[in-house]
Structure 1
Amino acid sequence: MCLNKSIFWNFVISFLLLTACSTPNKESATLLIYGGSIYTVDSTQATVEAVATKDNKILFAGSLSEAEAYKDDATRVIDLKGKTMTPGLIEGHGHFMGLGYNKLNLDLMNTTSYQEIVDAVAESVKNAEPGEWIIGRGWHQSKWTEMPKDMVNGFQTHYRLSEISPDNPVYLSHASGHAGFVNAKAMEIAGIEILPKDGIDKLEIEGGEVMRDGLGRPTGIFTEEAVSLIGKYIPRSTPEKNAKAFELAIAACHQNGITGFHDAGIGRETLALYDQMKRANKMKVRLYAMLGGGDKELLGEWYEKGPLIDPDHLLTIRAIKLSCDGALGSRGAWLLEPYADRPGHFGHETLPMHIVKETALNGLKHGFQVCSHAIGDRANREVLDNYESAFSELPGLTTDHRFRIEHAQHLNPADIPRFVALGVIPAMQAVHLSSDRPWAIDRLGEKRIKEGAYMWQSLLKSGIPIVNGTDVPVEPLNPIASLYASISRKTLKGTPEGGYEPEQKMTREQALKSYTLDAAYGAFEEDIKGSITPGKLADLTIYSQDLMTVPEAEFLNTEIEMTIFDGQVVYTKSE
């Protein structure tokens, strides 16, 4: 009897051991999310029922029944209750600190007339210290509903601004960032006389323009490189203000479902700030920072030490930003043919083109991606030419360069196939069409608009991905607006019926991919983010409506309900 019991218990123990060895121990999830439409942007399974994350990684994506096996008492369960989830959105081209500063300075983005600008500055003057600079950004004369009587080359003059602020210097940046509007006091500080005593030649500056009236008097408008004549006199920001702007930018990203941000051009001080914020555990957005190409000393230092590929995936530095022309709004974009609304004017080459090739060669040699701002068709062609020349000189280093053109807004049709042929990625902000297309036709004329402006579908069909975004603070950070523009090609007021050049619309799937996986690809990060795939970073965005099925007319009503960054819920709309 005792022998039989011993045999029985030996059998039981052996069975339990065998079962334990044959059944794998499943990891426990930190988060389990289910109950709505989940779009993965993963070609192996476009949609799933549930997602499980562990710490800052995606653990599982698939059926709810399988996902529940990862749940234990410590797992936080999020029921979407019919809402929609996608990979965390990536702002593919913006200015991170500009986003924060716009919330600290005078925001003119919604002004619709010169009078509104004057009124806003007048209010600021009331609260300003004597002699204090008043700084703002966001005005755009082409979006005004009424125009002042006195205009020069399509821009307002400073006189009314100077009247309401005689003692406080004023600098108001154009929405594009490619022009500045100042008052008489600011010009006085900069040593620019209202009536130049030595003639007007001293106001000439290569790559920019000081606008003047028929008598040679500065109007207060400074474009492109001429902005530096004023900018060097504006007091530098304080460390406290910088830190505050950084925190405001982080909060704005979370509120807009943004978990990654391609920061298009930063300098030494901003790099130091980012390093400080990361060490203080305040880097709650994944920054892909582009070094400002205007600082040769800074570039030389980075060429020597090579790219920074952050193992924490919070701050990566492996790109260089070059600014090669201006913007259409300020007539600074560099064109092959003159502006339709300013005969004889071709825009500005704001950077000598030999520097593009020089930087491209250095980028290839030292492992840096080159990202060149080019809006006009001449600028795009010149950048492509110089990239191609560099590639031909160093063919062994071009296997996976992923060089970019930022904006690629207006292309000559002959240059469209060159993007895929050269492997150059266009980073295009779809919302620019919504804001600019109604007046861009005045700049370019119908033929150039229809054949070469905002050519999204033509580029996608050629086989090259598009990186989407907003160019914040040129446009608001809101990704819903840019996604809407991508699929509708309409203004944010829903006009015109059918959209502008509708054959160039993105599909909804293409638009979402441009804000997720393709944006990740544009930063060499498609293996760690951009899709809901096990093993990738747990960055997720949750919406009030289904982006793939909501009627177009209701698309702009979509709100960000929740943002999950690094596996942590960092924003909830209800809170």
Structure 2
Amino acid sequence: MAKAYINGKFYTMEKEHDTCQAVVVENGKFIYCGSNEGALQMAQDVVDLGGAPVLPGMIDTHQHLFASARNLTRMDLKDVRTMSELLERVRRRAEETPDGQWILGTGFDQEVFTDQRILPTKEMLDAVCPCNPLVLSRYCAHMFSANSMALAAGGIGRGFQPKVPNTVEFDANGEPTGVLFDAAGSDIIALAPDPLGSLEAKKDILEKACRDLNSHGLTGVHPIQGLHCDLPEYLDAYQELNQEGRLTVRVYVNYDELPGQNLHFHTGLGDDMVKYGFYKLYLDGNLGGRNAYMTEPYADDPTNVGTPNYTQEELNALVRAGYERGFQVGAHAIGDRAVEMFTTAIETVYSEHPKPDARFRMIHLALLSDELIERIKKLPVVIDMQPLFISTDLKWVGSRVREDRRKYLYCWRRLIDEGLILTAGSDAPCESYDPIEGIYAVVNRKDMSGFPEGGWYPENSVTVYEAVSMFTKNAAYSSYEENIKGTIAPGKLADFVVLDSDLFEVDPMAIKDIHVEKTYLGGKEVYSRK
């Protein structure tokens, strides 16, 4: 049965300023967008929106959804602001945990600490947690701190050789400090008993997480596996949730492994709810850990240019392997040297075999240069950026590079002006997955307290329309789904979000205070604030 939604201000996102009063939904799709009168002629079941603003359902193009869900079972440290507070939290958790039982925590950021802006060492952790193996993950999921019991469980001691070089930190005496990176940290965490070991447990926690995504206006998400930093994803869990009618977001699932050679499928396998997405490579670390791969040494660490995960030849071969098998290929590249490597790999592979609709995914691109931008804009790429990185990082990220290069940090305005397509993701659980906060951040280039006045390099701010496009029609384009979602138009999936205020009309600083009233997936209400 057709249902009309009238008296709304539907921002279709087909083009800027394009709105309609009403829509009609039937069989999960929009069949009409126009006036109240026209909608009322097509349906007897009517919902009056009372003048509320409406957007297409929003899509997070970069998230580690299972890790976000799993964090509901771990010690949450994201609100910790001092080292002493972090250690006190650990001490209290250890006191209530039986000896020998693993303790895992996540979400802290030492860069915001007001006392010691360092990663906790094993000595610090041993003092408050001597009887339990303990591993704490920084919010970025690339850096970890472990106590002595956890290090011992992983066999990490003097003379230990990590399987990936430079992923275990040692002191001047050759002893591990407890600070770990990427694979070294995830390998130790993998030793802990898994409370979500069964498929049913995974499904239950994912369903809960998806419902929370809906509360923030999200109807789509691109979950990404990253096994080297303990970020798994489970395609079967999403499939079964969908089969059971329990999946409330559309997922485009992406992996950092290629399927076996005997599995003959490619990107796009699935349906409107669950699809197999892109093949993701991780080229470097991050700026917070100073292991993003740079062309020049870090300004605050002159002996360090970061760490690449591949040689250029290895990277070319991996990109080629995914591309030739019909997979969309994406890569995490934060430092400008890592971006250069991925740019070279795309140039090499694409020139060998140009395909009519290649859409490589360039992910993060935190630091660029004029030369890199000129090369990138000639390629068939989509850029997946993370708006909240600017809000989280702006107080310290400038210290990593020379002052004259800071204008190339998160230079999203420049990329749009060069004609590139940008999408927005959260990188959750690294950041909040609330797209309203993301829109606020990328428009204002400020943190949530409004700092700094005037914005951080405000010449790289984007408009509200551009920001919303990143979460809607650009996001749909990135997964080859622009013909079925991303805008409000007849024939497209009826995914839409009702807000309590119009983000196109409020003061940009007030955007972060806007709330989602209702979220619809295929015309079905999946969230209501009331």
The two structures have a TM-score, normalised by structure 1, of: 0.87
Q: 1:305 to 1:229 in 2, by over 3 A?
A: closer
One-letter code aligned to 2:364: H
Q: 2:13 aligns with which of 41, 47, 67?
A: 41
Distance 1:121 1:47 in 2: 51
Secondary structure of the residue that 1:59 maps to in structure 2? strand
Deviation of 1:228 after TM superposition, in Å, equals 4.4
The alignment yields a C-alpha RMSD, in angstroms, of 1.9
Matched-pair contact (CA < 8 Å) for 1:265–1:320: no
> For the residues of structure 2 that align with 1:410 and 1:345, how far apart are their CA atoms?
16
In the alignment, does 2:256 pair up with 1:292?
yes
In structure 1, runs of 5+ residues without a counterpart are 1-27, 149-153
Shift in alpha-carbon separation, 1:309–1:142, aligned structure 2, 3 A: same
CA distance, structure 1, for counterparts of residue 52 and residue 260 of structure 2:
45
Give the drift of 1:155: 2.9
Given the alignment of the two structures, is residue 220 of structure 1 paired with residue 178 of structure 2, yes or no?
A: yes
Call closer, same or farther: CA 1:543–1:389 in 2, change over 3 Å: same
- Corresponding residue number in structure 1 for 2:217: 257
State whether residues 267 and 328 of structure 2, in contact with CA within 8 Å, keep that contact through their aligned partners in structure 1: no
1:363: which partner in 2?
Answer: 322
State whether residues 130 and 167 of structure 1, in contact with CA within 8 Å, keep that contact through their aligned partners in structure 2: yes
Contact in 2 for aligned 1:359/1:370 (Cα 8 Å): no
Please give the alpha-carbon distance, in whole angstroms, between the structure 2 residues aligned to 1:353 and 1:541.
Answer: 44
2:291 is aligned to 332
Residue in structure 2 matched with residue 51 of structure 1 by the alignment: 23
Match of 1:559 in 2: 515
Give 2:43's aligned amino acid: K
In structure 2, what is the Cα distance between the partners aligned to 1:44 and 1:466?
A: 16
Partner of 1:25: none
8 Å Cα contact 1:417-1:459 kept in structure 2:
no
Matches within 5 A, 1:166-181: 166-181=130-145
Q: Which SS does the other structure have where 1:92 is aligned?
A: strand
**Aligned residues between the structures:** 524
1:294-313 aligned within 5 A: 296=258, 298-302=259-263, 304-311=264-271, 313=272
Larger Rg: 1
Q: What does residue 67 of structure 1 align with?
A: 39
Q: Secondary structure of 1:66's match?
A: helix
Residue in 1 aligned with 2:97? 128
CA distance in 1, matches of 2:399, 2:233: 39
1:424 aligned to 2:381?
yes
TM-score normalized by the length of structure 2: 0.94
The structure 1 residue matched to 2:336, chosen from 377, 382, 385, is 377
CA contact (8 A) 1:59 1:534 kept: yes
User: Do the aligned residues in 2 keep the contact of 1:225 with 1:350 (CA within 8 Å)?
Assistant: no
Structure 2: which 5+ residue stretches go unaligned?
A: none
Tell me by how many angstroms 1:212 deviates: 2.6
Does 2:359 align with 1:402? Answer: yes
Question: Cα deviations across residues 287-316 of structure 1 (Å, max 9, x unaligned)?
Answer: 0111223xx5x35354x33334323x1111
Question: 1:242 maps to which residue?
Answer: 202
SS at match of 2:390: helix
Which amino acid in the other structure matches residue 212 of structure 2? A
Is this contact kept in 2: 1:186–1:230, CA < 8 A?
Answer: yes
- Output the CA distance in 2 between the equivalents of 1:508 and 1:159: 47
Higher helix share: 1
Which residue of 111, 125, 130 corresponds with 1:142?
111
Measured at CA, do residues 353 and 246 of structure 1 come closer, stay the same or move farther in structure 2, by a change above 3 Å? farther
Question: CA–CA distance in 2 between the matches of 1:177 and 1:433?
Answer: 18
Task: Show CA shifts across 1:150-185 (max 9, x none).
Answer: xxxx43322232122111111111111111111111
Aligned to 1:244, the other structure's residue is in SS state helix
Q: Is residue 349 from structure 1 mapped to residue 322 from structure 2 by the alignment?
A: no
CA offsets 1:105-159 (integer angstroms, 9 cap, x no match):
11111111112222222232233233221112111111112217xxxxx433222
Partner of 1:24: none
Task: State the SS of the aligned residue for 1:421.
Answer: coil
Change (3 A) 1:331 1:241: farther
Match of 1:277 in 2: 241
Q: 1:538 to 1:229 in 2, by over 3 A?
A: closer
Distance 1:368-1:555 versus aligned 2 partners, 3 A rule = same
Contact 1:158 1:220 in 2 (8 A): yes
Identity %, equivalent residues: 31
- Contact 1:208/1:350, CA 8 A, preserved across alignment: no
